[in-house]
């Protein structure tokens, strides 16, 4: 079986960033091993690399824009780099999970959504998406747990009514 060729993003600057970040994922295990002591002390890889708030914001915006046009394949390396470089920012793990889920990698998406839930225990959307992934993987009891968590986190919050309704509907479909 051969891989399907996916054209690079049309914007050459975005294409260059995607290619660079994709390539750097190849050496990530070695980088993490080299930085193990600092990482175990709570320093993020992004801090060690000197990534600025502005750089994070620009990369997040780029990944979001790619997701908005359905280009999850190219958004993924950006999202993964964000999540790896700053695992304490839940939205980075969330967007990586969203890319993986849309690409059909529910097991890996679940890991990213779990990281998002760890970084922000009040993230109802991450709990909902984690529930979806658990259901897709056939782990229905876990799916129910996370969907119920989403409902609980959404309760009484008018900004989350739609999410709460989605979680209830998904929960009913698992019954």
Q: Check: CB of residue 160 under 8 Å from CB of residue 154.
A: yes
Structural tokens at position 29: 């295990």
C-alpha–C-alpha distance, residues 127 and 8, integer Å: 32
Helix (H) or strand (E) holding 60: helix 53-68
Look at residues 107, 171, 115, 170 and name the one whose alpha carbon lies nearest to residue 137: 107
C-alpha–C-alpha distance, residues 106 and 95, integer Å: 13
Reduce the DSSP state of residue 105 to 3 states and report it. coil
Q: Check: CB of residue 163 under 8 Å from CB of residue 171.
A: no
The per-residue pLDDT for 3 is 54
- Domain spanning 10-120, CATH class: mainly alpha
Q: 156 burial class (0-12, 13-18, 19+ CB within 10 angstroms)?
A: exposed
The per-residue pLDDT for 145 is 98
Per-position pLDDT tens, the chain of length 175: 445 557 777 888 888 899 999 899 999 999 999 999 999 999 999 999 999 999 999 999 999 999 999 999 999 999 999 999 999 999 999 999 999 999 999 999 999 999 999 999 999 999 999 999 999 999 999 999 999 999 999 998 888 999 999 999 999 999 7
C-alpha–C-alpha distance, residues 86 and 43, integer Å: 9
The per-residue pLDDT for 4 is 58
The per-residue pLDDT for 157 is 87
Q: Is the pTM of this model over 0.75?
A: yes
The per-residue pLDDT for 2 is 45
The per-residue pLDDT for 5 is 57
Going from the C-alpha of 155 to that of each of 149, 161, 167, the distances in angstroms are: 10, 8, 11
> DSSP readout, 9-53?
PSSHHHHHHHHHHHHHHHTHHHHHHHTHHHHHTT--HHHHHT--H
The per-residue pLDDT for 12 is 83
Domains of the chain, by residue range, sit at 10-120, 121-175
C-alpha–C-alpha distance, residues 23 and 21, integer Å: 5
Place of tokens 């994922």: 25
């Amino acid at each position: 079986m051969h891989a399907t060729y996916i054209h690079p993003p049309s914007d050459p600057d975005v294409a260059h960033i995607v290619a660079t970040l994709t390539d750097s994922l190849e050496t990530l295990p070695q980088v993490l091993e080299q930085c193990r002591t600092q990482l175990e002390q709570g320093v993020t890889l992004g801090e060690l690399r000197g990534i600025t708030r502005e750089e994070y914001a620009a990369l997040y915006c780029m990944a979001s824009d790619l997701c908005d046009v359905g280009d999850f394949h190219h958004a993924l390396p950006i999202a993964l780099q964000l999540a790896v470089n700053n695992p304490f920012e839940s939205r980075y793990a969330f967007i990586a999970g969203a890319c993986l889920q849309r690409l059909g990698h529910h097991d890996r998406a679940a890991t990213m959504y779990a990281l998002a839930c760890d970084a922000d225990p009040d993230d109802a959307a991450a709990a909902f998406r984690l529930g979806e992934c658990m259901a897709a993987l056939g782990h229905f009891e876990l799916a129910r747990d996370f969907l119920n968590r989403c409902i609980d986190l959404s309760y009484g919050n008018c900004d989350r009514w739609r999410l709460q309704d989605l979680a209830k509907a998904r929960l009913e479909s698992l019954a």
